[in-house]
Structure 1
Amino acid sequence: MWTYLTAGPFASQAELEVWLRQMTSKPDPQPYAVVDAETGKTHGLICYLRIAPESASIEVGWVTFSPILQQTTLATAAQFLLMRNAFALGYRRYEWKCNALNIPSHRAAERLGFTFEGIFRQATINKGRSRDTTWLSILDKEWVKLEPAYLQWLDASNFDADGRQRVSLSTLTRAALAGRED
């Protein structure tokens, strides 16, 4: 999980807490804990970053979900809530960037309805290694089509008694964006 992030893994909880205090001491990034309402336990972190109100652009990043949270309805709901909030605040561009080698992150973004925009080659150096960065986004005009897809997917009727989805989110997001005018 820490391979593609610029910090971590952390040797101790104290080291993690120092890093979190540093992150929360600035207005950007804005970290949010992902908490399971039923158990009260925190299982992940997700941040707004590269917050640019002047251009109405904001990025989601530092998606750090424990194995308990990964590939769950709660993980998708957390992503949805941040997206919905960003667009409600008037942002017109919601970005997702990841190391070009991080195929699971790229797949997750596309499942969520993000559009691949390209790869910035040798964009940065991370942990002593050159990093190519994959850029993806959702625009406000796409969000109006995607939000109903999320609501349909998150609705309890989309899940059977064992919690299995009846229709996948990727099916719904692809259908929502089919025939869009770019």
Structure 2
Amino acid sequence: MSHLNQFDQPVGAALPDWQPRPHPERLNLQGRLCRLEPLRSTHAGALFDAHRLAPDTRSWTWLLREPDNSVEEYRAWIELVSGQADPIHFAVIDQRTDQPVGSLALMRIDAKNGVVEVGHVHFSPLLSRTAMATEAQWLLMHYIFATLGYRRYEWKCNSLNEPSRRAALRLGFQYEGRFSSGAGDKGPQPRYRLVFDYRFRVAAD
């Protein structure tokens, strides 16, 4: 939404009462079908086995790293990223089995401007295309908008990753444009966003 300033120039909407937001924490987020826990090395064995249920490695195509050859490699990666302040990785825990079935992360966290991106989404066959997968995404959205009061929640994916594009639109993201990521052969990325105008709708759904 734009308006004209004193020089009759179009400018963006002002946020006169805006205050920097808290940095997201490594905490549990409880849902009905699943919960999110900070990713840690104890999740490695079950998550590695869950991903190995897939008949091939196509779920790795759009990730920025290659499949791990052993649970030890996977555990080493988790240990590397689990202590970082950005990205903050979460494991998705199936409430029925109490086992991890996927992971996702909050990344490019800009607390000053209330902007964050969801990424590093990697769901095993036990989670992909289920109501639990939708709830996992909702738990992070609700935390960012309703608890922390951020104003913008972004989703980026490779322009050729059609399942990710469909998922973004299904979750309520609005298409914003395409940009070159500079990430080698992963290609240009469409950008989707939820903004704070949607906060109360997201929180109530």
Tell me which interval the TM-score lies in, with the shorter structure as reference length. 0.7 to 0.9
Residue 142 of structure 1: CA displacement? 1.4
Alignment match, 2:130: 72
Residue 140 of structure 1: CA displacement? 1.0
Match status 1:41 vs 2:123:
no
Mapped to 2, the partners of 1:146 and 1:130 lie a distance apart of 30
Match of 1:104, SS state, is: helix
Mapped to 2, the partners of 1:134 and 1:12 lie a distance apart of 33
Q: What TM-score does the superposition give when structure 2 sets the normalisation length? A: 0.69
Unaligned runs of 5+ in 2: 1-58
**Higher relative contact order (Cα pairs below 8 Å, separated by 6+ residues):** 2
Alignment match, 1:89: 148
Identity across matched positions, percent: 40
Q: Which runs of 4+ in 1 moved over 4 A?
A: none
Mapped to 2, the partners of 1:85 and 1:139 lie a distance apart of 14
Match of 2:66, SS state, is: coil
Q: What TM-score does the superposition give when structure 1 sets the normalisation length? A: 0.77
Pick one of 128, 134, 137 that aligns with 2:190: 134
Residue 146 of structure 1: CA displacement? 3.3
One-letter amino acid of the counterpart of residue 54, structure 1: K
**Structure showing the higher helix proportion among its residues:** 1
Pick one of 63, 66, 74 that aligns with 2:121: 63
Residue 82 of structure 1: CA displacement? 0.3
Q: In the comparison of the two structures, how many residue pairs are matched? A: 146
Question: Which has more radius of gyration?
Answer: 2
Residue 51 of structure 1: CA displacement? 0.6
One-letter amino acid of the counterpart of residue 74, structure 1: M
Change in 2 beyond 3 A, CA 1:40/1:130: closer
Mapped to 1, the partners of 2:188 and 2:121 lie a distance apart of 18
Mapped to 2, the partners of 1:109 and 1:29 lie a distance apart of 20
Mapped to 2, the partners of 1:69 and 1:117 lie a distance apart of 28
What pairs up with 1:1-182 in 2 under 5 angstroms? 1-87=59-145, 88-121=147-180, 123-126=181-184, 129-148=185-204, 150=205
Mapped to 2, the partners of 1:72 and 1:4 lie a distance apart of 20
Mapped to 2, the partners of 1:130 and 1:112 lie a distance apart of 23
Mapped to 2, the partners of 1:130 and 1:105 lie a distance apart of 14
Mapped to 2, the partners of 1:134 and 1:18 lie a distance apart of 31
What's the CA shift string for 1:15-71, capped at 9, x where partnerless? 111111111121000000001011011100010000110110011111100011011
